[in-house]
Amino acid sequence: MHSHYSMNYDPDSGLIDVARYVASDNCDERPQGAGVETLIVHAISLPPGEFGGLGIEQLFCNSLDADEHPYYSEICELKVSAHLLVRRDGEVVQFVPLNQRAWHAGVSECLGRENVNDFSIGVELEGSDDAPFEDIQYERLAQLTNVIRQAFPAITPDNIYGHSDIAPGRKTDPGPHFDWQRFRALFSQTAQG
């Protein structure tokens, strides 16, 4: 572990204390009676394959400039978000309170049900299908997973999926470089530590 720092969830605000909060309008209330039962791991980079820019935050906050990159003109009208983003340097950014519904899963199916946004939390890793993720990203994701699972105990280790698992054929993230075994070992280890 690079740095062990504590991370806490505030159920009143729905926020993780160490995250930089950048409010996205792309969210709403979960349906009546819908509990959080699954965690979905995504990967995103904007422009595709490039890291460190403002594109992801701009996309989730509806401020992406269509003229800045050819790809942006295809996606700038999308209304999407995720609860959390883990940047390449380990920074955690939160866009949507965990007790609200973020718009991350799209057309999807999980646990035998559609509309996965209703009962999931979406965490994005800054990454792509073409590059390994950073060590610190695994560490932060594991820490987040443990904090989220404490707050939402219906999320079991078996109820954690990649975007590609819930939208096969449509999505490939978190991609072939995401090491599920390493991630699972880390979050069970940090849960005890």
User: Per-residue DSSP letters for 135-181?
Assistant: HHHHHHHHHHHHHHHHH-TT--GGGEEEHHHHSTTT--TT-TT--HH
d(CA 60, CA 2): 29
Q: Quick one: pLDDT at residue 190?
A: 64
pLDDT tens series, the chain, 193 aa: 444 578 999 999 999 999 999 999 999 999 999 999 999 999 999 999 999 999 999 999 999 999 999 999 999 999 999 999 999 999 999 999 999 999 999 999 999 999 999 999 999 999 999 999 999 999 999 999 999 999 999 999 999 999 999 999 999 999 999 999 999 999 876 666 5
124 labelled catalytic: yes
Domains, in order of start, for the chain? 9-192 (3.40.80.10)
Count CB atoms within 10 A of the CB of residue 131: 14
Q: Quick one: pLDDT at residue 192?
A: 60
User: Which of 124, 126, 134, 139 does the annotation list as catalytic?
Assistant: 124
Q: Residue 192 corresponds to which amino acid? A: Q
Q: 171-191: per-residue pLDDT in tens?
A: 999 999 999 999 999 987 666
The predicted model scores a pTM of 0.95
Q: Residue 28 corresponds to which amino acid? A: D
Q: Which tokens sit at 23?
A: 């409010």
